């Protein structure tokens, strides 16, 4: 039939286009590891990668197997002169098998996943570096504890121009906290971050850390911690649409050695102390006194 010839020609044309375009377009982009993913630099991220890997091979095998069988059927059972279809309404035994097997696989997968999920969100170690990260339209502010090693308490109702970290004024721990516009963290040490937002929902997303967590206004997200394995420069990205400047809402991340971190921290603490001495202590923001301070950590 003419139609079949057209079909065949089109089919092979398509195969040719695929073969010609696809590898060429991709080859120039990246010396690929399996996922094209940027290098992973956190301990938990490597476990995520292992799980991702596992699912990739699992689904890849299922895909190849089903498609191979499917295409084999399509070719083998194509209409030919004299061919007649086999009359069958199905097979209950097969139905049971292909219900039970995927169920078992999915249950196994969900157990694997959720164990890792709770491991990643386990209690952060006591010696973690603490950072309060605040997203706003369209940027990030970080706050580190001062010499006392404690972050001042936050009441999310208090965000204002004068109080950009919403610190509770009568908590002395907050007085020496210093701020930064870049996230500087020591390599190989657990880092415990508190996520806040001043206006709309933002999200903390660092692909190299394999980590995403939304920052919700009015809430403190206190369960995110991670440990880096490598020094380097990265970018913190907002990955939750947050307005017209969303695409450019980023902040630099520097993962540095412990010595460098200590030096940087000491410099910041000294600068904060100098600043506190030179400026007379300002009066509390007016609204604060009546506010119902919620028990939020930090």
Pairing of strands 139-144, 129-136: antiparallel
Stretch that binds other proteins, among 33-41, 254-262, 266-274, 275-283 (CB under 8 A): 33-41
Nearer to other proteins, 179 or 213 (CB): 213
- 57 interacts with other proteins by CB under 8 A: no
Q: Which contiguous run of DSSP H or E holds residue 268?
A: helix 258-278
Contact with other proteins (CB under 8 A) among 19, 20, 26, 125? 26
Contact with other proteins (CB under 8 A) among 46, 247, 275, 276? 247
Name the 3-class secondary structure at 281.
coil
Taking CB under 8 A as the criterion, which residues in 141-200 touch other proteins? Answer: 156-157, 197, 199-200
Quick one: 109 exposed, middle or buried, by C-beta within 10 A (0-12, 13-18, 19+)? middle
Contact with other proteins (CB under 8 A) among 160, 181, 248, 258? 248
Q: How far is the CB of 114 from other proteins (least distance, A)?
A: 4
Nearer to other proteins, 90 or 282 (CB): 90
C-alpha distances in angstroms, 111 versus 108, 192, 210?
A: 5, 26, 20
- 242 interacts with other proteins by CB under 8 A: yes
Give all strands of the β-sheet with 129-136 in edge-to-edge order.
178-180, 139-144, 129-136, 190-197, 221-227
Query: At residue 76, what are phi and psi to the nearest 5 degrees?
Result: -65, -40
Q: How far is the CB of 115 from other proteins (least distance, A)?
A: 9
Contact with other proteins (CB under 8 A) among 142, 191, 216, 253? 216
Taking CB under 8 A as the criterion, which residues in 257-296 touch other proteins? Answer: none
In angstroms and rounded to an integer, the radius of gyration of the C-alpha atoms of the chain is 28
- 19 interacts with other proteins by CB under 8 A: no
Stretch that binds other proteins, among 59-67, 140-148, 180-188, 261-269 (CB under 8 A): 59-67
Partner residues linked to 214 by β-bridges:
203
Contact with other proteins (CB under 8 A) among 23, 68, 113, 294? 113
Q: What six digits make up the tokens of 131? A: 């950072």
Give the end-to-end CA distance of the chain in Å, rounded to a whole number.
76
Stretch that binds other proteins, among 73-81, 126-134, 176-184, 273-281 (CB under 8 A): 73-81
The CA distance from 77 to 210, in Å, is 46
Q: How far is the CB of 147 from other proteins (least distance, A)?
A: 31
C-alpha distances in angstroms, 288 versus 95, 110, 230, 293?
A: 65, 46, 42, 9
- 120 interacts with other proteins by CB under 8 A: yes
- 214 interacts with other proteins by CB under 8 A: yes
- 139 interacts with other proteins by CB under 8 A: no
Contact with other proteins (CB under 8 A) among 23, 172, 245, 267? 245
C-alpha distances in angstroms, 47 versus 44, 54, 172, 177, 209?
A: 5, 11, 39, 33, 11
Q: For 234-252, give one letter per residue: b (16+ CB within 10 A) or e.
A: bebbbbbebeeebeebebe
Q: How far is the CB of 203 from other proteins (least distance, A)?
A: 7
Stretch that binds other proteins, among 23-31, 125-133, 164-172, 278-286 (CB under 8 A): 23-31
Binding string, residues 91-110; x marks residues near other proteins by CB under 8 A: x--xx--xx--xx--xx-xx
Within 10 angstroms of residue 133's Cβ, the number of other Cβ atoms is 22
């Amino acid at each position: 039939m003419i139609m079949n010839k057209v079909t065949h020609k089109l089919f092979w044309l398509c195969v040719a286009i695929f073969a010609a375009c696809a590898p060429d377009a991709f080859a120039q982009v990246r010396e690929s590891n399996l996922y094209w993913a940027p290098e992973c630099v956190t301990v938990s991220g490597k476990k995520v990668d292992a799980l991702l890997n596992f699912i990739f091979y699992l689904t890849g095998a299922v895909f190849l197997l089903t498609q191979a069988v499917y295409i084999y059927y399509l070719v083998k059972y194509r209409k030919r002169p004299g061919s007649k279809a086999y009359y069958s309404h199905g097979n209950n035994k097969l139905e049971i098998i292909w219900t039970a097997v995927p169920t078992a696989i999915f249950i196994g997968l969900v157990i694997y996943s959720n164990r890792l999920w709770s491991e990643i969100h386990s209690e952060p170690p006591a010696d973690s570096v603490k950072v309060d990260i605040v997203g706003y339209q369209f940027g990030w502010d970080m706050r580190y504890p001062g010499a006392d090693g404690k972050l001042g308490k936050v009441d999310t109702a208090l965000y204002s121009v004068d109080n950009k970290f919403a610190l509770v004024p009568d908590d002395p721990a907050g007085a020496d906290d210093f701020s930064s516009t870049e996230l500087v963290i020591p390599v190989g040490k657990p880092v415990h971050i508190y996520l806040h937002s001043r206006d709309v929902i933002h999200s903390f997303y660092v692909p190299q850390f394999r980590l995403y967590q939304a920052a919700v206004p009015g809430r403190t997200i206190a369960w995110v911690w991670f440990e880096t394995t490598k020094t380097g420069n990265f970018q913190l990205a907002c990955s939750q649409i947050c307005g017209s400047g969303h695409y450019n809402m980023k902040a630099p991340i520097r993962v540095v050695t412990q010595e460098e971190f200590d030096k940087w921290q000491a410099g910041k603490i000294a600068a904060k102390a100098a600043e506190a001495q030179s400026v007379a202590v300002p009066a509390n923001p007016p609204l604060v006194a009546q506010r119902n301070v919620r028990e939020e950590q930090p």
